[in-house]
């Protein structure tokens, strides 16, 4: 790993993290084991996925709102036949329904999210006439940075796993797709039982990752990830924001 460390342990970190609030602009759409979420939230994930599979477009679109537009089916722990597909409502609609595509995009559905097999939503749209799928084009800033986004995403995942790999595995948390940052904006990636998470934003040509944990007095870290994947730990400290 191409990793540098320029850390400074202090009772509280200032400077490096001041420009990245604890709660960023958007919450990353989590996919975890079904029993991790409150039952109502889990049921919403599963229902939207079933409506998409059943091609019940009218009811699907009517149930989607800005808070659940990027939901996907949740896997069941210890069930080998229940794996996360990461099919959002738009992944389902892209294969069949042009009108639903437009409705979902109006509600804030993202284009850049990929399914478990790393297929984009556009690749799910083979049954839609070519002249009608312009709406599924990736945003220019995602398309033009696809190579560096993929490289930085690997480094972001390494930072996350270094801090909370056990929690990721225990709760079946899917790691974030960095394209979210370039299509939507700065985001907060929450990890169950971490009592904190990871805030991600653009920083020069790369990204900055501020992670914090409020267990046993708390801790926080700042990482800078350059477009070539090089990761530098810039600061460490204690998160006292109870």
Domains in the chain, ordered, with CATH?
Answer: 1-25+140-242 (no CATH), 33-137 (1.25.40.20)
Name the burial class of residue 115, with classes exposed (0-12), middle (13-18) and buried (19+) by CB atoms within 10 angstroms of its CB: middle
**What pLDDT is attached to residue 15?**
40
Look up residue 155 and give its DSSP letter.
Answer: H
**What pLDDT is attached to residue 71?**
97
Q: What is the pLDDT of residues 60-71, one digit of tens each?
A: 999 999 999 999
Structure token digits, residue 130: 């070519």
Structure token digits, residue 221: 């870290």
3-state secondary structure of 135: helix
Banded pLDDT at 13 (limits 50, 70, 90): very low
Measure the CA–CA gap between 208 and 223, rounded to whole angstroms: 6
Q: What is the pLDDT of residues 73-95, one digit of tens each?
A: 999 999 988 888 999 999 998 87
Measure the CA–CA gap between 158 and 225, rounded to whole angstroms: 11
Q: What is the pLDDT of residues 94-126, one digit of tens each?
A: 877 778 888 998 999 888 899 887 777 765 556
Q: What is the pLDDT of residues 171-205, one digit of tens each?
A: 999 999 999 999 999 999 999 999 999 999 999 99
pTM of the model: 0.86
Beta bridge mates, 79: none
E-state strands within 44-194: 187-190
Beta-carbon contacts of 29 under 8 Å, excluding residues fewer than 6 positions away, are 70, 71, 72, 88, 113
- Nearest Cα residue to 221 out of 205, 207, 230, 209: 209
- Nearest Cα residue to 52 out of 31, 34, 73: 73
HEC-encoded secondary structure of 37-62: CCHHHHHHHHHHHHHHHCCCHHHHHH
Whether residue 45 contacts residue 72, with contact meaning beta carbons closer than 8 Å, is answered with: yes
Whether residue 239 contacts residue 196, with contact meaning beta carbons closer than 8 Å, is answered with: yes
The rounded percent of the chain whose pLDDT value lies above 90 is: 63
């Amino acid at each position: 790993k191409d990793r540098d460390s320029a850390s400074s342990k202090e009772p509280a970190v200032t400077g490096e993290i001041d420009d990245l609030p604890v709660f960023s602009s958007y919450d990353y759409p989590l996919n975890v084991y079904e029993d991790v979420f409150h039952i109502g939230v889990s049921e919403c994930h599963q229902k939207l996925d079933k409506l998409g599979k059943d091609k019940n477009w009218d009811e699907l679109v009517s149930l989607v709102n800005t808070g659940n537009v990027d939901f996907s089916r949740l896997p069941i722990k210890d069930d080998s036949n229940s794996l996360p597909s990461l099919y959002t409502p738009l992944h389902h609609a892209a294969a069949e329904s042009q009108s639903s595509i437009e409705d979902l995009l109006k509600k804030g559905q993202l284009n850049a999210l990929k399914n478990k097999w790393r297929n984009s939503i556009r690749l799910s749209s083979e049954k839609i006439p070519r002249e009608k799928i312009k709406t599924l084009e990736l945003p220019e800033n995602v398309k033009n940075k696809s190579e560096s986004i993929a490289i930085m995403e690997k480094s972001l995942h390494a930072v996350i796993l270094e801090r909370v790999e056990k929690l990721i595995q225990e709760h079946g948390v899917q790691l974030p797709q960095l394209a979210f940052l370039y299509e939507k904006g700065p985001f907060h990636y929450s990890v169950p039982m971490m009592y904190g998470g990871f805030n991600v934003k653009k920083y020069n040509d790369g990204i900055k990752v501020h992670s914090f944990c409020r267990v046993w007095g708390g801790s926080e870290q700042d990482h800078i990830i350059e477009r070539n994947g090089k990761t530098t730990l810039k600061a460490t400290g204690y998160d006292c924001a109870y």
